[in-house]
């Protein structure tokens, strides 16, 4: 059921960028939503936005022949109320947008440009860095706009380091993330841009 407070924004530019990323084998799923003027932008609205993207992913997979056999099994589990939010600070948000994030800082570009099977950007097309910048602009991930960025998977552990953890294991709140937790990692961010009144969400989960 679609939230009355959130409306997907699908324009020509966004559709073209989505196709471009898919053809290049980028592993990110994303949605950009307009927020109704009367809406209270709280964690619950962020969760609703994540669920909008999840339904979009479900729909796309139901129409994709690559997932034909997967569809015969159990549907993807989605328990977003169990997700534990972590709000990023201004420096963490800035690092997200850099082509070369500092040290072990969380940066989107390495995951955008180098998923497990690599990417295949057209040699005679726009450079990956240019497409990445276009994507950030579409998402409203603009540090100068004072966005609120929530990380929803920071407490999930990679399977290969689970044995070294201290304390109880944190199981994923959706089966969407199970592949990425085997090795590569997972992403799940929601981005509130107060200037544009947009709430964007992105997720990724992939393995080799």
* Per-residue pLDDT tens over the stretch 73-120: 578 999 999 999 999 999 999 999 999 999 888 999 999 999 988 898
> Cβ contacts of residue 45 below 8 Å, gap of 6+?
3, 5, 6, 35, 39, 199
Q: How confident is the model at residue 62 (pLDDT cuts 50, 70, 90)?
A: confident
- What pLDDT was estimated at residue 47? 98
> Cβ contacts of residue 151 below 8 Å, gap of 6+?
85, 86, 87, 88, 106, 188, 189
Q: How confident is the model at residue 208 (pLDDT cuts 50, 70, 90)?
A: confident
pLDDT in tens, 151-188: 999 988 665 444 444 444 567 999 999 999 988 999 99
- What pLDDT was estimated at residue 4? 84
pLDDT beyond 60 at 135: yes
- What pLDDT was estimated at residue 104? 85
- What pLDDT was estimated at residue 69? 56
- What pLDDT was estimated at residue 163? 46
| Bridging pattern class, strands 29-35 and 86-87 | unpaired
- What pLDDT was estimated at residue 73? 57
Identify whether the C-beta of residue 205 lies closer than 8 Å to the C-beta of residue 152.
no
What's the mean per-residue pLDDT of the chain? 89
pLDDT beyond 80 at 42: yes
């Amino acid at each position: 059921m679609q939230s009355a407070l959130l409306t997907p924004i699908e324009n020509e530019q966004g559709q073209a960028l989505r196709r471009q990323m898919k053809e290049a084998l980028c592993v990110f799923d994303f949605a950009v939503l307009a927020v109704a003027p009367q809406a209270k932008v709280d964690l619950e609205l962020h969760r609703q936005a994540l669920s909008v993207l999840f339904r979009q992913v479900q729909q796309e997979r139901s129409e994709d022949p690559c997932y034909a056999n997967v569809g015969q099994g159990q549907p993807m589990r989605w328990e977003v109320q169990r997700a534990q939010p972590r709000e990023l600070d201004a420096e963490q948000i800035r690092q997200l947008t850099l082509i070369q994030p500092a040290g072990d800082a969380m940066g989107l570009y390495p995951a955008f440009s180098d998923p497990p099977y690599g990417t295949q950007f057209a040699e005679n097309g726009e450079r990956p860095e240019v497409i990445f910048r276009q994507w950030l602009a579409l998402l409203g991930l603009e540090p100068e706009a004072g966005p609120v960025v929530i990380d929803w998977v920071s407490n999930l552990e990679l399977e290969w380091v689970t044995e070294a953890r201290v304390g109880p294991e944190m199981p994923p709140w959706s089966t969407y993330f199970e592949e990425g937790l085997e090795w590569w990692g997972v992403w799940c961010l929601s981005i509130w841009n107060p200037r544009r009144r947009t709430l964007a969400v992105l997720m990724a989960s992939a393995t080799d």
